[in-house]
Amino acid sequence: LIFGIVKLIGSGSKKGKGTKELPFTAAANYAYTGAGFLYFDAGRLYYEDISDASKDTSYKINTEELKLAAPKGISVLYHDTALQIVGGGDSLVFSGKVLGVRCGNEHVAVLREDSAGGTAIVIYDKSGIQVDQMDFDATDLIGFGFSNTSDETLWTLEADYSTITPVSTLTTYNLSTKRTTGVMTVQGQLVEDVLFTNNSIFLSATSSLIRCNPAGSTEAYRMTVYGWALLDYSIVDSGPVLMYGQRGAEAHSTIKLYTLAEGEVGTAEIASVHPPTGYVGAFLMKGRLCVYTPTELYTYSAKGELLSTEELDDTITGAEKLSDNHALLHKGDTLLISVK
């Protein structure tokens, strides 16, 4: 494990147009940072900036058998027993096993199993200094991460299967004060996704979409989404836009778009879109639904209106969202980045 290039990772990407072929293939070990890509090739770790080639760099490494966690903010390299915060000083070595890593803007959360079998989430700052630790029963913890809102809340999601019906519990923590700021319990269904805005916490469960107030963790409202699964979301000035598809379907003949209110009343603008058959990717970017076919891009408003149809420069085999600004297009094994 290695060194530091964190200064190159944290910058925001600039807007551009068109597509750009990436210097690695779909089979590579790579991660998107928000401004560019980290990837391994022939014993080196490369950084490729999307908009500024002067920031591109590479470093020699001892092994490519590493995992990457590089969302917008801190970037991390890790394997089962060690972790390196890029630019964070010495490597962190564990006597047990690293089960998962989540990165925020200022902190890294490591789910670690110690040599005695105990499970904990250990919190480090960007310098690699441990600032907190939370112990858990490994069978109960089903998710954790950072809100990436202005206060960078850490959240954990636990499920209790010991009762007749499942109980899901979301707990939020303030890393500055090291205090629990909220506990939200949902009975009779499993919470599958958690979405934070500066004004709300949304829980997408197997039967309901629930809005909670961050202050006091009180439930404001819930609406039924039974039979539908959350596929994507986008936060825009008009409010959160959520994308739902039929639960269990491999291809979605109908996509529902929810533009949610962030008040105490459960109102939402709901639109249905029937995407073109044979599409290879569908997701939200800047509050709009983007549907890629092998040769065209269809863009819909949050109200379900078709805004444009754009012919692609290349015939693609797949498309996935990287952020509200960038999409990753697959052309066989070749990768292209598209700027929206």
- Please give the model's pTM, rounded to 2 decimal places: 0.88
The full DSSP string for 238-252 is TEEEEEEEETT-SS-
Provide the 8-state DSSP code for 91.
Answer: P
* Amino acid at position 159, single letter: A
Which residue, chain included where needed, has tokens 């954990």? 156
Q: What does the block give as tokens for 135? A: 């112990």
116 token code pair:
């005695």
Question: In the prediction, which pLDDT does 333 show?
Answer: 96
What is the per-residue pLDDT for 64?
A: 65
Dihedral sign computed on CA atoms, order 322, 328, 332, 334: negative
In this prediction, residue 44 carries a pLDDT of 87
Residue ranges of the alpha helices (H) in the chain? 6-9
pLDDT of residue 229: 95
pLDDT per residue rounded down to tens, the chain (340 residues): 444 333 333 333 333 347 889 999 999 999 998 889 999 888 888 989 888 888 888 888 777 678 888 877 788 899 888 898 877 778 888 888 999 999 988 899 999 998 888 899 999 998 889 999 999 876 789 999 998 777 778 999 999 888 888 899 999 998 888 889 899 999 999 999 999 998 899 999 999 999 999 876 789 999 999 999 999 999 988 889 999 999 988 889 999 999 998 888 888 899 999 999 999 999 999 999 999 999 999 999 999 999 999 999 999 999 999 999 899 999 999 999 987 6
154: number of Cβ within 10 Å: 22
Q: Residues 6 or more apart from 249 whose CB is under 8 A from it?
A: none
Backbone angles phi, psi at 75, to 5 degrees: -115, 145
Instruction: State the pLDDT at residue 216.
Output: 66
Rounded to whole angstroms, how far apart are CA atoms 63 and 323?
29
Q: Which residue, chain included where needed, has tokens 């020699």?
A: 60
Burial (0-12, 13-18, 19+ Cβ within 10 Å), 9: buried
CA distance 258 to 239: 10
What is the spatial distance between Cα 8 and Cα 104, in angstroms, rounded to a whole number?
17
Classify 5 as helix, strand or coil: coil
Conformational region of residue 116, where left means phi above 0, alpha means psi within -120 to 50, and beta covers everything else? alpha
